[in-house]
Structure 1
Amino acid sequence: MARLTPEQLEQKLNAVLRNQPPRRAPMSLEARVLGEIARRQALPWWHKSYAYWPAPMRVAFIVIGVALMAAALLGSVQLAGLVSAQAIGDFFRPATDAWATLRTAGAAMVTLVRGHVPQFSTHWFYVALAVIGAAYAMMLGLGATAYRVFWSPSR
């Protein structure tokens, strides 16, 4: 038998493999693949990759993460004695002043609205909360019962 070059061997192998009949996939493969796609699409956003999160949640995650990192960095720097507490307070003064302004504006809005809204007894407020809580509990109970009766797989 003559010795073949790698290119000739590749051509012969390609010719033999192309003459092979195509293999059929299992009958259940399509159903399994479509089921997995549907399962992944039904996942809530917080179980998916970060790229699938809604934009406001991604921004909030970044803001909270950066704030936590900054707090940890500032805390460790202060513990090491490199920066004084006064310098850190001065650094955050604009944010704390803005927060104080927002609180003052909110309190002014509450006093403005409170003058136009009639006073309710706290008794009625607690009764309304109890009714809402009972309705919520009933909704959960009915939902669980309906699930068990109509959608739960029989044993």
Structure 2
Amino acid sequence: MNEQNEKQLEQLIHRELRKLPELPAPQTLVHRVMLAVHAKERQHWWQRPWLTWPLPMRVTSSALCVATVTALVYFGAGAWQAAGIVNPLDRIWQWVGSLSPLRDWLMTLVNAVVLVLQKAGQQYLLIALGVAVTMYLMCVAAGTACYRLAFNRR
């Protein structure tokens, strides 16, 4: 279909839908909606989504979760060793340990960049930051333009 036919079809459907009588809502709808709203309001704080909990309770629950995971990892490793089974975390720690040369190389690179920035002065850092921000904003603008071009209804 071309654009003109689509507009005519849209107008025809709009006219036909306007001719239909309005359907009345069921008599009990308002009552049921209000009951649902009040039931939500009467919920205890722990029955609501976690992000709506009071801040001290969120902090406490987060600390308890971290403590629980830490205890599981610590005592789980001990249980594996006590049972005489090879601890599956040992493989992970060996793999992480094998990455220490990479960590050393990255730390050397970071230290070199920091040293260059200290010696070069803030002017070049600010110019580089300005260029990076400008490039980022240009990418956002180009993406927005492409999105609008791709999804334009006309």
TM-score by length of 1: 0.45
Using CA pairs below 8 Å that are at least 6 residues apart, which structure has the higher relative contact order? 2
Which has the higher Rg, Structure 1 or Structure 2? 1
TM-score by length of 2: 0.45
